[in-house]
Structure 1
Amino acid sequence: MRPLKLVPDNTNIAFLKYRNVAMALSLLLIAGSIALCFIKGFNLGIDFVGGQQTRVTFTQHVDIPTLGERIQALGVGEATVQQVADTTEYSIRTPLPEGGEEAANKAASVIRAALIKNYPGAQVAGAQSVSGKVSEELFRNGAISLSLAMLAIALYIWVRFEWQFGIGALFALFHDVALTLGFFALTQLEFDLNIVAAVLTIIGYSLNDTIVVYDRIRENMRKYRKMEMEELLNLSINETLSRTVVTSLSIGIVLTVLLVLGPDVIFGFTAAMLLGIVIGTFSSVYVSAAILLWLKLRPDSFLPKEAAGPKGVEGAERVSFKDMP
């Protein structure tokens, strides 16, 4: 039985022919995402804003304003009620009461009793409390971890390859992170520590895919020193396309199943991961490779200086991507 090949061996797609359109789209999406982050902001979870969160599942959909008024009437502070996806589960956030753990437990008991009394059949999952100081530290540490991860990755690629590769990888990672954050600003899905973990995972996946393409580009630059850069980049992307498609598709199928059938508690994490796989695959083809052209990467960049002169280059065989078998 012949193995199934999603991408034929002789695939010859001129991806970079459309690099200007793809880059214009990427820049537009990045600008829109940044604007959404500043204008709409994020629906920060209790991990980042502090307070007390109660999750309750009703027997049917309830009126959110009415539920919020009933909770506030209990004297526990202003209540923020949000429906979890399109289910009968709701998240109720209230300020953390003064008085420590004892006061928090008392407020949680009051809310629980009121929910069971006013909504027969309601199931209260429990309450979670996070102090303002802890939430501030979590937000700061999450932002620092994302920034340091991206800078360390760019530095690693800079040292391993050429400076153009480092800039290309850093911009691709910024592209992926910006679009993911813009998605959460647009949809107002809850942004908590799970989403930070998802963004870090997206960075790792995108980097892995980008390095695979970069390794093949470097290998082909040493092999075809007279080939035009655009043709060489297209060749490298096509040679790694099978691996990219299989990896992205296999992960995407699993994430899609989790998104549809998985528990609500990981809905945001799964949505972030699935989006990250899509935009990470796009950026490794159209963003990280296209930037190398604009940064004037030369075919002789990896040759010793004495061999990179006119004689060294002229002695290499001219090969065209179109003539490749």
Structure 2
Amino acid sequence: MGQVVVVTGASAGVGRACAEEFARHGYRVALLSREPARLQRAADEIHGAHGVDTLAVPTDVADASQVLAAAAQVESSLGPIDVWVNVAMATVFAPVSMLTPEEIERGTRVTYLGQVHGMVAALSRMRPRNRGTIVNVGSALGYRSVPLQSVYCGAKAAIRGFTDSLRSELIHDGLQVRLTMVDLPAINTPQFDWALNKMGRRARPVAPVFQPEVAARAIFFAATHRRREVWVGFSTVKAILANRIAPALLDRYLARSGYSGQLTDQPLADGTAGNLFAPVPGNFGAHGRFDDEARQTSYQMLTDRHRALFWAVAAIGAASLIRSLVDRRNSQT
């Protein structure tokens, strides 16, 4: 009998790819999301492809009582939860001046409080057993905010703060529950078609773009290895480090390029519905409409997966270079 994983936001996008990845490794998978039909279809497809037990639990992660009830249902049907992955998110493409208080609150409740509720529900099950792993899915935008996504960026930054506090508390209490965070780059998911958009032009991820399977593999890796945090893609690494070095310079750069980098020249169709307050029906999967440019791998993740070997090779290379320089110096004297 395989281990049990709970994935929120599992009916499409990164969550859908993540559920598939865990199933591929023999996990029994509980899928949480708002849209019942798409969620059940995803659960059925994963069961058919991998033969593992799956459970679709329609859940609005913004509602703490629903998340707690989902955790109870999962354990009643599949068994003790070993891994909980918080993926669900919602965003709005609009400048702050065009946002309503209701939109700000809803986006924050889904993206930030949705992960908080997931952590609390997971801990309620894992703490008594003194085992388990919680994976929070963050973003490069949680470190370096961009224009037009203030709600999402603010929520992702808040998740980092909550996660770090909880991690210290787990250490203080001597618990063996692991907490890790995976920070993602731009991912090719349906969110750029169904997120609430007030800009009049279709949204797009900021290049470079990665396929959701890259994110899913990183999430599985974080869940099964002892890593405090995993940064996916060199674009994520560069955004985080550059913001530490020259944040004011990035402010001005994004003021010039942050709008055009997130919008296409295609007009937004009249009557396009966003998924902020209600799920958008349809047979969406893991991928969005950017397959032609999305990358299948992240070389940065290869170094993270095999970091001991990477640093050993780097040390050998450095030693070889130093020896070569010393030999050259000796030959010249």
Q: TM-score, normalised by structure 2?
A: 0.21
Q: Greater Rg, structure 1 or structure 2?
A: 1
Q: TM-score, normalised by structure 1?
A: 0.21
